[in-house]
Chains A and B, each alone.
Chain A
Amino acid sequence: MDRFRMIFQYFQSNSESIMNGICGLLALASVKMYTSFDFSCPCLPQYNMAYGLGIMFIPPTILFLCGLILNRQSLVMLEEWRRPQGRRKKDLAVIRYMCSSIMQRAMVAPVVWIVVTLLDGKCLICAFSASMDPEKFVGFANVSTVQVQQLLAKVPCKDDELLRNNTSRKAVSRYLRCWSQALGWSILLILIIAAFLARWLRPCFNQATLLQARHWSNYIDIEQKIFEETCCEHSRLFAHKCILHFFESMRQEIKLHSFSLPREGEGAEGEEDLLRGITDQDQVNKLLKTWYYEKPPLDVSQATPRH
């Protein structure tokens, strides 16, 4: 348990680590999903291509959307993009930086699915077996056109009684699998080269702007968290005071009807400070509305409160 707590704390230490952790978990989940999915090609001429390509492209779209949903930063970015300007200018470089980092992380799990699918080969065999040229394979060369389509469509199904031990079926299967694996490795190679170039060449362009964008995107995240914590604390105190007032008013009513009770109101004084003068529902609503419509400027040089 200690070990898990330590790993958990390491990932909690900053939100980038959390996002990397989620990204890795989604990638592992996508591999696990693929291995546990029971691929069953329909082995019929028109259905094969739809099934094969569907399995190859629909789950990655789902995983991409999951990656966007699970990433807290996407909400923060949307909020920053759509907020009214107020007293704080908007910096497009920060929004672009956040957008690109969110997209990169969300793309990992779909790419893992597609690469694993291609390296395994079943999808491509299912999708393209009916589009093979029968002349290339001995067993299918002298069959009529209609029948050859049916036979080729049955290639992915190993247990079909027509093609059970047919060497041409195995040849077609091997051929398609070889292409599928070559495509998979090529995609992986291209992506790795792109990632390498991006990491290597990034500091050559606008490093100062990048440092600034990264700092302010981190800042926006932290500010949002601290604001939520402050509001939580405020609402807790508000509720506490509200309930104390309620009991106080009840007690005063009782006092009218019976003998006096000891007074004990001094402890509540200290908490009034933490409420910072915001003590009713309309004021809280106004505060939250102002936070959204008019974020304060990024300038804390004056210590005294200003209007």
Chain B
Amino acid sequence: MDKFRMIFQFFQSNQESFMNGICGIMALASTQMYSAFDFNCPCLPHYNLVYGLGILLVPPFILFLLGFVLNNNISMLAEEWRRPQGQRGKDPAVLRYMFCSMAQRAMIAPAVWVSVTLLDGKCITCAFCTSVPVETLGNASHPRLSQGEVQRVLARIPCKEIYNGQQLIANEVAVRYLRCISQALGWCFVLLMTTLAFLVRSLRPCFSQAAFLKSRYWSHYIDIERKLFDETCAEHARSFAKVCIQQFFESMSTDLVASHCHLPRKAPADAGEAAEKLLGITDRGAMNMALKSWHRCKPPLHLHPPALPTGNGWAGEGQPPTHPSAPRRETAAYYSWV
């Protein structure tokens, strides 16, 4: 169980690992969906092409969009793109990096679906059975049929139980031919995808590696900052609720104090601790203002040193001369991205 917990924690550790996990699950889900789906070729001349190509292309598109929808980073990307500049500059390289990494992960499940479909062969057989070269593959002695009739007969190739064109072209021959082409396409597709992935990974360090490192760092930072903000807001809401309810109970008891001559003595200690966590925000208007400013005007990426007392407060001690220099050193270390 320790191993499982470790794996679970590893995937939770940051959004990228979590997305890798989701990506893998979606790829497995796409193979499962394909095997569970009951492929049902209509075996009618014009419907075959539409159905076959539809099954080949529509589910991958759905899986691609699903990959984006399930990724929490998409709203983060849109937010970062649309927010007002405020005190913090915007870096288009970070946005591009986030979009590329999301798109790469979202492409995996569709690629798996397309490969599995092509390697299985049913879709291509259904879609292109009317284009089989009858002259080369068909039986030499077949009765002369009109074009429409030939199309109707060929359209029934995928449906073995209603196929009635053995004199025209043997069912086995046509199916084998189409399947062979489909599998060749499938393997070529897999080879192409793998080559692309290899090239992208191996050539990346050759181009602007420093900029890439920077973009990756700041995109992780934005993700972590948003998570921490949400957690802090939740913590704040909890403390706010505790203090609010305590004060409610106190106000009720003061209403009844006349009849009982009894004031709570334990409450203030609790209230003090919870009130500290409120970080100075103690009413609805202030909280709304805080949330609005978080969106409109994000703080600069520049950590302030702790505030120094002025010279008056240190009259009795010899410390003041050395203190002012220390924060300046701190400032230099936190070089701003703005």
Chain A residues close to B by CB (< 8 Å): 2-3, 6, 10, 14, 119-121, 167, 170-171, 174-175, 177-178, 181-182, 185-186, 188-189, 192-193, 195-196, 199-204, 207-208, 211-212, 215-216, 218-219, 222-223, 226-227, 230, 270, 272-274, 276-279, 283, 286-287, 290-291, 296-303, 305-307
B245 & A226 in contact (Cβ 8 Å cutoff) = yes
Contact call B42/A178, Cβ cutoff below 8 A: yes
B: contact size bracket: 35 or more
Chain B residues, Cβ within 8 Å of A195? 65, 69
B119 to chain A, nearest CB (A): 21
8 tightest Cβ-Cβ pairs between the two chains A and B: A277-B253, A305-B250, A298-B284, A273-B266, A299-B283, A301-B282, A178-B42, A2-B1
Q: Is the CB of B237 within 8 A of A222?
A: yes
On whether the beta carbons of B79 and A207 are closer than 8 Å, the reply is: yes
Considering only CB atoms, which chain B residue lies closest to A287 in the complex?
Answer: B252
Whether B44 sits at the interface, judged by CB under 8 Å, is yes
**B66 and A192 form a contact (CB under 8 A):** yes
Pick the residue among B40, B271, B291 that contacts A181 (CB under 8 A): B40
- 20 CB contacts below 8 A, A to B, read A2-B1, A3-B5, A6-B8, A121-B40, A174-B40, A175-B42, A189-B62, A200-B78, A201-B78, A203-B79, A203-B81, A215-B291, A276-B253, A277-B253, A277-B262, A278-B256, A296-B244, A302-B247, A306-B247, A306-B251
Asked if B177 is at the interface of the complex by the 8 Å CB criterion, the answer is: no
Report the separation of the CA atoms of residues A296 and B246 in the bound assembly, to the nearest whole angstrom. Answer: 11
Task: Say yes or no: B78 contacts A174, CB within 8 Å.
Answer: no
Q: Is the CB of A185 within 8 A of B58?
A: yes
User: Closest B-chain residue to A221, C-beta based?
Assistant: B237
Q: Are A223's CB and B83's CB within 8 A?
A: no
A227 to B, closest residue via Cβ: B245
**Set of chain B residues within 8 Å of A204, measured between Cβ atoms:** 78, 82
Chain B positions 259 through 279: 1 when the CB is less than 8 Å from some CB of chain A, otherwise 0: 010111111100100010010
A196, A219, A279, A306: the one contacting B237 at CB < 8 Å is A219
Partner of A174, one of B42, B66, B263: B42
Pair B251/A307 contact, Cβ less than 8 Å: yes
Let me know if B217 is at the binding interface, CB within 8 A. Answer: no
Q: Do residues A226 and B241 form an inter-chain contact, with CB atoms below 8 A?
A: yes
Contacts A200-B74, A226-B238 supplied; 5 other A-B pairs, CB < 8 Å: A3-B1, A174-B40, A219-B241, A223-B241, A227-B245
Q: Which residues of A contact B78 (CB under 8 A)?
A: 199-204
Q: Closest approach, in angstroms, between the C-beta of A140 and any C-beta of chain B?
A: 15
- Once the chains bind, are A174 and B79 in contact (CB under 8 Å)? no
The complex places the Cα of A59 from the Cα of B271 at a distance, in Å, of: 50
Does the CB pair A202–B62 fall under 8 Å?
A: no
The closest CB in chain B to the CB of A5 belongs to B1
A9 to B74, CA, bound (A): 27
Distance, CA A305 to CA B263, complexed state (A): 10
Tell me the complex Cα distance, A177–B41, Å. Answer: 9
A208 touches B291 (CB 8 A): yes
Tell me which of A182, A223, A270, A272 contacts B244 (CB under 8 A).
Answer: A223
B152 to chain A, nearest CB (A): 11
A195–B253 CA distance with the chains assembled, in angstroms: 50
Q: Are B292 and A208 in contact (CB under 8 A)?
A: yes
What residues of chain B lie closer than 8 Å to A193, measured between beta carbons? 65
Q: How many Å lie between the Cα of A33 and that of B42 in the bound state?
A: 28
* Contact across chains for B247 and A296 when beta carbons are under 8 A apart: yes
Interface residues of B in 290-321 (CB under 8 A from A): 291-292, 294-296
In the assembled complex, B15 has its CB within 8 A of some CB on chain A? no
What A residues does B250 contact at CB under 8 A? 276, 305
Knowing A2-B5, A273-B265, the reply to whether A175 touches B44 (Cβ < 8 A) is: yes
Name the residue on B nearest A7 (C-beta): B8
CB-CB under 8 A from B265, the residues of chain A are 273
Bound: A90/B145 CA distance, A: 77
Q: How far is the CB of A141 from chain B (nearest CB, A)?
A: 15
Q: B337: CB under 8 A from chain A? A: no
Is B97 part of the contact surface with A, judged by Cβ < 8 Å?
Answer: no
For B257, the closest partner residue in chain A by CB is A277
Question: Do residues A192 and B245 form an inter-chain contact, with CB atoms below 8 A?
Answer: no
Q: Select from chain A the residue with minimum beta-carbon distance to B262.
A: A277
Question: Contact partner of B287 among A10, A121, A208, A215, CB < 8 A?
Answer: A215
CB distance from B260 to the nearest CB of A (A): 6
B240 CB–A CB distance under 8 Å: yes
Are the C-beta atoms of B256 and A188 separated by less than 8 Å? no
Q: Which residue of B lies closest to A282 (CB)?
A: B256
Closest chain A residue, CB of each to CB of B44: A175
- CB of A221 to closest CB in B, whole Å: 9
Q: Nearest chain-B residue to A304 (Cβ)? A: B250
Which single residue of chain A is at the shortest CB-CB distance from B292? A208
> Is B69 a contact partner of A219 (Cβ separation < 8 A)?
no
Partner of B267, one of A186, A203, A276: A276
For B247, list chain A residues within 8 Å (CB). Answer: 296, 300, 302, 305-306
B1 to chain A, nearest CB (A): 4
Q: Which A residues are CB-close (under 8 A) to B55?
A: 185
List B contacts of A273 (CB < 8 A): 264-267
Which residues of B lie under 8 Å from residue A283 when comparing CB positions? 252, 256
Q: How far is the CA of A287 from the CA of B245 in the complex (A)?
A: 12
CA distance in complex: A116, B297 (Å): 46
CB pair A278–B249 under 8 Å, yes or no, is yes
Q: Bound complex: CA of A306 vs CA of B81, how far in Å?
A: 46
Question: Which residues of B sit under 8 angstroms from A2, Cβ to Cβ?
Answer: 1, 4-5
In the bound assembly, the distance between CA atoms of A189 and B64 in angstroms comes to: 11
CA distance A273 to B79 in the complex (A): 48
